[in-house]
Amino acid sequence: MNIEKVGVVGCGLMGSGIAEVAAKSGFEVKVREINDDAVEAGRKRIRRSLDKAVEKEKLSAEDRDATWERLSFTTEVSDLADRDLVIEAVVEDLELKNALFGELDGRCGEHTIFASNTSSLTITDMAAATSRPDRFVGLHFFNPVPVMKLVEVVRTIATSDETFDRAFAFSKALGKVPIAAKDNSGFVVNLLLVPYMLDAIRQLERGVASVADIDTGMTLGCGYPMGPFVLCDFVGIDTLYKISEIMFDEYREERYAPPPLLRRIVAMGRYGRKTGKGFYDWSGEQPVPLPI
Ligand code: CAA
């Protein structure tokens, strides 16, 4: 059975990107958020991104309008009952995700595939709590979703070949490059990326160099598109903290443990670009390093 109707739950940074890319690729997409304000914020975020693409002549006005037509929004989980695929992109909280999948499980058709965009929880912990572990995969996208080409397609020991193949084909239909990953916390990319970001924070704690100099070092010295602290601000410092706690819990290895400074910055509400402040102040034209 082909995937035509897609549901996206959560319309934050990742969910809005996933919904936008799926609608642009011709899928009929229904987005669910928890209340009208969140729906409005998500709708605006997607619209802004599509308008920007038109301004930059990456998308024609006709294609934007057609994409917009394929998108709809709801606050009701039951409105996703007819979907062929539902992708969850809510916050990294297993209880919340399981409550959501429990609700979806009772409402969606037998054929509906469930996918989670989690970056660090295991797919197994969600799939095992539903009646369809064979129709459950991980679809892990990267930020910013419209730009980053990779999708990690994650299978558990219960995922059927058919489900995996359909999820893999779906990722290709979005114009992405899928890779197959086993269901270990962090999959492939975060397993390597998260310790790197945490290590940068540890080196800062040790006073090796300043935020700006470490970032300049890694961009100009290694050709990375962003230094580790800009990347922390970009991913969300609260998100990085949650991811590292989950990965540390899974592996009990020091390399995944959140450094104290990370916890302090989260406690101050400096979550990165989304709140205007993280390692940098993002309120001006150029980011300015903040006192640490
Ligand atoms: N939506 C759509 N397009 C965007 C965009 C967005 N949010 N952000 C940037 N772009 C586009 C720009 O329009 C621009 O397009 P053109 O070249 O056609 O004009 C292009 O991307 C490059 O953007 P900029 O020139 O503004 O800036 P840049 O060269 O620094 O590129 C970047 C921006 C693509 C984000 C680049 O800095 C980059 O690749 N950074 C690393 C991102 C990364 O590592 N992401 C993974 C994060 S980890 C994660 O997501 C997983 C997890 O679980 C934590």
Task: Give the pLDDT confidence of 3-18 residue by residue, as tens digits.
Answer: 999 999 999 989 999 9
Indicate the DSSP class of residue 272.
B
Whether the CB-CB separation of 96 and 52 falls below 8 Å is answered with no
Dist CA 99 CA 94 (whole Å): 8
Q: Is the CB of 54 under 6 A from ligand 1?
A: no
Catalytic residue chosen out of the listed positions 119, 120, 171, 185: 119
**Within the chain, which residue ranges are assigned CATH 1.10.1040.10?**
189-279
> Is 78 assigned a catalytic role?
no
- Asked whether the predicted pLDDT for residue 171 surpasses 80, the reply is yes
Neighbours of 193 (CB within 10 A): 18
Neighbours of 4 (CB within 10 A): 11
> Is 140 assigned a catalytic role?
yes
Angle between helices 211-222 and 228-235 (to 10 degrees): 100
The pTM is what? 0.94
The answer to whether the Cα torsion of 272, 273, 274, 275 is positive or negative is: positive
CA of 123 to the centre of ligand 1 (A): 27
Neighbours of 69 (CB within 10 A): 10
Instruction: Give the tens place of pLDDT for each residue, 174-198.
Output: 999 999 999 999 999 999 999 999 9
Q: Is the CB of 190 under 6 A from ligand 1?
A: yes
Classify domain 5-182 by CATH number: 3.40.50.720
Q: Is the CB of 225 under 6 A from ligand 1?
A: yes
Instruction: Give the tens place of pLDDT for each residue, 130-163.
Output: 999 999 999 999 999 999 999 999 999 999 999 9
Dist CA 40 CA 11 (whole Å): 10
**Within the chain, which residue ranges are assigned CATH 3.40.50.720?**
5-182
Which atom of ligand 1 is nearest to 119's Cα?
Answer: 53
Catalytic residue chosen out of the listed positions 140, 171, 185, 244: 140
Residue 2 banded pLDDT, cuts 50, 70, 90: confident
CATH class of 189-279: mainly alpha
